[in-house]
Each structure stands twice: as structure tokens, then as C-alpha cells.
Amino acid sequence: MRSALGWPDAPSCARPHHGGMALAFAAPLDQLFSATEVNEWAWMAARGEAELFAPGHPHGGDADSALAMLRRHAAAERRPDLLALIIAANARKVPVLLDDDALSLGFGHGGHTWPMHDLPSIEEVPWPTLHAIPIALVTGSNGKTTSVRLLAAMLKAHGLRTGFSCTDGVFFEGLRLETGDYSGPAGARAVLRHGEVEAAVLETARGGLLRRGLAIAHADAALVTNISDDHFGEYGIDDLDGLSATKLIVARALDANGALVLNADDAQLREHAQRLACRLAWFSLDDDHALLRAHRSGGGATCGMRDGHLWLEREWRRFDLGTVEAMPLTAQGRALYNISNIAGAALLADALGVSSTTIGEVLARFGRDRHDNPGRLEQWQFGGIHVLMDYAHNPEGLRGLLAIAQGMGGRGRLGLILGQAGNREEAEIRALAAVAASFAPDLVVLKDLETYMRGRAHGEVAGLLRNELLAQGLLADRLPMQASESAAARHALGWARPGDLLVLPVHGLKAKSDVGGLLDRLEAEGWQAGQPVPAT
């Protein structure tokens, strides 16, 4: 008998596929297959007659055996004890968090977690102590981590012990608990299972949404910062429309009391919002944006800039959040994308009950210390040069960063380091180089992103960038190549002379630490442009 896998109903032992890796079923042999079926499979495999299909993927020509396989898997994985606990939690309005290893009932300081192999009975669960906590989801193409950190600071100032997850790790009350990209379900679970967390802010990136979906069924508010060309060609997403639909999955976690915060300056979000049923809040760089005016007329929440101030309005009440140029994140008002991030985070905070006074106080100070938002628009001035370090990782992000640099003026030259992750399509890589070329840099140090090679050979992405820069008219002797982000930054520093401005988009966590540490050292030691860069 042939199974859904293409060979007789395969045993739970490892079955090699064409990649040479072993795949196995979770259930033991005697739960899924008879001895006769196992022997038949082994006999056919020995003769080379067993076709190779990945476990769990039905054979297209054998629907009956595919259905039988599905029934066997379902029977082997049946957990009536787990189902009973979930039903009991739903009846008590206690949130549930489930993965392969553990079940959590309630979140943060109102939660408890049990391993899947040792679940309690319904009577053993301390139901009166279990409850939800305020949760915000943050997604979009650019500005996610800045928005997460800013909202976390507002919630902390509001008096809530706050945990958050982002591309740099998992954090609680300023303490880093995990290092790495935790912008997916694993980061959300780590925050929500921390026993002291009273509010959670969860960065929710496209990759996690497409691979694993949302970690939670309910959130109190969500933000989509913007939509721009990035990651096309992965998981069936090939255009802005598909990317917008992916980001807006976060709206499914909101009930009638939740709020979805959207960017009115983004055409894709305006279009998709027409098909959403949840409560909306809109932000824009222009407080007089037609969509904001229309939304306010019905009492809806908005945030926008007017006469140099940021204004938040809801239910026909207006709140002045302060002078935009005085907010450190805005770089004296030049960082337009951060003004958008601030407006979105302010609406999120308002939706979670943070007062306008607290929001304004946080905006007036957040970003003054580089440690508030590491790796995002960090600035150094020493030795006669000005340095910007940022995460800008796609054409739109780089355009915004270089526009800030251009607005700073100065009498010197512009130096830039440039790289891209290996999983981007060649068109996206060329687009990044074209943006760089449009600002006429005097130096572009091309680099590998050593932790983001993703199938590309060393120097391959840097070569594609270089070819496009040459096609855009930059001179070959201004396009050196380095094998790492840290080496690229050191090259740019060695090239710099008094009056120059260096723009350093750095992506890897270790590279950010290394480059930031080097810049701190040069500043502390009184290094001057034109001197040798100290050895590591």
C-alpha cells in the first residue's frame, strides 16, 4: 500500500530525502503503522522502489492513503487534556500561549507556564491569578524597532514594568534578556512568559508572520509604520499589495476595543484600510492631511505635525505633544521618518491609556542618550568629523538616512559604507545602490554582511552594488571593497579628514557593537581625523 508520502506508509524512523537530511515522524512506530506496513516499506526501499516525498505531504495521485495518513497523525497527536485546558481558559477569558514545548495561561505577571509533558488538571490551575496584560504589536517596512523602544519607554513612564522584543533581542526594564533577531513568535513568547512583565511591546516582522503567523490571538493595539519595496520573491510575496496584506495580519488580533494605527502618508495602507473592520487611528507628517481631518470629524484619533508642533487628537480633544525640533529623535526636525515613528508610537501609547502629558515628556527626552535607541540614527562628533550610524537596510531607509546627512550640510566630503543581505533580489540590490549614487558620495566602501550572506558567495552582493554604482557614474577608485562591516567602517574612518561626514549603515549585532565601541573609543581618546585608526 502506498501512503501520502509516496512509499508504503512510512515508519517513524528517519527517511532521507533528496537533500540527504533525515526527516522523522513525532509519533512512535506502533502508534502509526503495522509491522506488515513497516516491513513492506523497508523491502521496497531496499529495492529502490520507495518514492521520496517529504513527510506530511500527500501524494497527488493517492487521495485515500493521504487521508489515512492525516487521520493517523491526528490520532497520534490527540491531546484531550490540552484541549480541555484551552476550553476552560476561553470560558474564563484567560489568554492562551501554546507551542511545541509549553502551555501558558495568562501573560506576564498574570501568567503561568507548564511543560507539555506535565500539564495540570483543570482543578489544579490557579485561575484567579491568571489574566492578560496590555499588548501592542508593531510591524511595517521601516521604523519598527525605534517605534517599539519608544512605546516601551512611554509605558515605563506610565508606571508599567514593560518587556519588548525586536530585531536586537528581548528586553525587560532596560535589561537585555536575549540577543539576536527576536521579531517573531519566539520573541513574543519570551516576553509574555516573563513573570514580571506588566505590559508588552512586540515587534512583528514579515518573516515571522509568513512562516509562523501571530504568536497570540489578541492584542490591544497594533501599528503598521509604512510599506516599501523589500523582501520580494519570498514566501509568494512579489509586490507591495501582497506585502501590505501580510503586514496587516496584525489587525486580526484586534477586537472591537482594539486600535490599529496606520500611516496616512502611505498609499498602500490607505487603500487596504478600506477593507478593514477594526477601529483605526491615523498619523501623518501633516496634521491637515485630508484623511486626518475626515477621521477627526467623527471623533477618531489622529496625530500629525502643524506649525512645528506634534498634535494628538481623539474624541474632539486636542493635545500638544511638544515642539518637533526639540524632540531628540527628530535630529532638529530633519529626520522626517522619525517624526512619523514618533506620531505612530504616540497613538499606540494613547490607545493603551498613557496620558498625553507622559507621552510629551518622553518625546522631549528619548534619544538624547545614544543608549535609548542603539544602532538607529546614533551620532558622534569628534576629531573634526561627524558620524551617523543607523540600521538603514532598504532603499527607502537609506534615502531617509542620507537625506538627514545632506541636511546637515558642512564643508567636507560624504563617506558611506554599503551592503545588503544576500536574500534580496538583484533588482533590490541595484535599487539600493542607485539611491546611494543619487546623493553623490565621495566614497562608498562596499561590504559583505557577514551574518546575512544567505546563500551568496563572499563579495557577490558587494560586486552587484559596485557594478550599479559604476553604471550610475561613480568612479572606480572611490568604491573599495571590504569583507566585513567592521572593516568597512574602519576603512571609512581611515579615509576621513576634518569636516567630513561618515554615514555607516551597520546591520549585524556584533558589528554594531564593534563599530559603536570603536567610535566611543576614538571619541574618548581624542582621536583626530587623518591619524591612523587604532588596531582592534
**End-to-end CA gap in the chain:** 65
CA dist 281 and 50 (Å) reads 57
Strand ranges in 307-367 using DSSP code E only, listed in sequence order: 309-314, 317-323
Specify the pLDDT at position 424.
80
How far is Cα 229 from Cα 55, in angstroms, rounded to an integer?
Answer: 35
pLDDT higher than 80, residue 318: yes
Query: Do 135-372 and 378-525 have matching folds?
Result: no
User: What number of other Cβ atoms are within 10 A of residue 396's Cβ?
Assistant: 20
Q: Do residues 383 and 529 make contact, with C-beta atoms less than 8 angstroms apart?
A: yes
What type of residue is 515?
Answer: V
Residue 19 confidence (pLDDT): 32
Residue range 470-482: mean pLDDT, rounded: 95
Task: Write down the residue that cell numbers 554604482 correspond to.
Answer: 469
Average pLDDT over residues 76-96: 94
364-375 pLDDT, tens per residue? 999 999 889 998
DSSP state, residue 393: -
Q: Is the pLDDT of residue 75 over 90?
A: no
Report strand pairing: 414-418 vs 443-447: parallel
- Report which of 81, 11, 5 is spatially closest to residue 41, judged by C-alpha positions: 11
Report, as an integer, the average pLDDT of 450-474. 86
pLDDT, average across residues 463-485: 94
**Residue-wise burial string across 228-264, b where 16 or more C-beta atoms lie within 10 A, e elsewhere:** bbbbeeeeebeebeebbebbbbbbebbeeebbbbbbb
Q: How far apart are CA 348 and CA 104, in angstroms?
A: 26
Q: Is the pTM of this model over 0.85?
A: no
Which amino acid is it at 458? H
pLDDT value of position 524: 95
Averaged over 272-296, what is the pLDDT? 96
Q: Is the pLDDT of residue 30 over 80?
A: no
Tell me what pLDDT residue 200 has.
98
Question: 3.90.190.20, 3.40.50.300, 1.10.3720.10, 3.40.50.150: which CATH number matches 378-525?
Answer: 3.90.190.20
Q: What local confidence, expressed as pLDDT, does residue 58 receive?
A: 55
Residue 16 binned pLDDT confidence (cut-offs 50, 70, 90): very low
Residue bearing the bigger pLDDT, 235 or 330: 330
Angle between helices 426-438 and 460-471 (to 10 degrees): 50
Range with lowest mean pLDDT among 217-221, 238-242, 318-322, 452-456: 452-456
Instruction: Map out the domains of the chain as residue ranges.
Output: 15-76, 84-129, 135-372, 378-525
Residue-wise pLDDT tens digits, 384-437 = 999 999 988 889 889 999 999 988 877 799 999 999 887 788 888 999 999 999
Strands 221-224 and 162-166: unpaired
The pLDDT tens digits for 122-158 are 999 999 999 999 999 999 999 999 999 999 999 999 9
Does position 22 have pLDDT exceeding 80, yes or no? no
Q: Specify whether the CB–CB gap between 452 and 461 falls below 8 A.
A: no
pLDDT for 31 equals 46
CA distance 530 to 532: 7
Alpha helices in 275-335 (DSSP H): 290-297
Cell of 112: 503561568
Residue 492 has pLDDT above 70, yes or no: yes
CA–CA distance from 361 to each of 139, 187, 284, 321, 326 (Å)? 25, 29, 21, 8, 11
- Of the candidates 321, 302, 346, which has an alpha carbon nearest to the alpha carbon of residue 153? 346
Mean pLDDT of 445-457: 80
The reported pLDDT for the residue numbered 61 is 61
Element (H, E) at 191: helix 185-192
Judge contact between 178 and 373, C-beta under 8 A. no
Q: Which of 79-83, 459-463, 517-521 has the weakest average pLDDT?
A: 459-463
Task: Give the C-alpha distances (Å, rounded to integers) separating 495 from 173, 407, 433.
Answer: 40, 22, 21
Judge whether 246 and 368 are in contact, CB under 8 Å: no
Question: What pLDDT, on the 0 to 100 scale, is given for residue 12?
Answer: 32
CATH topology of domain 135-372: UDP-N-acetylmuramoyl-L-alanine:D-glutamate ligase (3.40.1190)
Q: Tens digits of per-residue pLDDT, 160-198?
A: 999 999 999 999 998 999 999 999 999 999 999 999 999
Q: Is the pLDDT of residue 91 over 90?
A: yes
For residue 73, the model assigns a pLDDT of 80
Cα gap 303→354, rounded to integer Å: 15
**Given this model, what pLDDT does residue 24 score?**
33
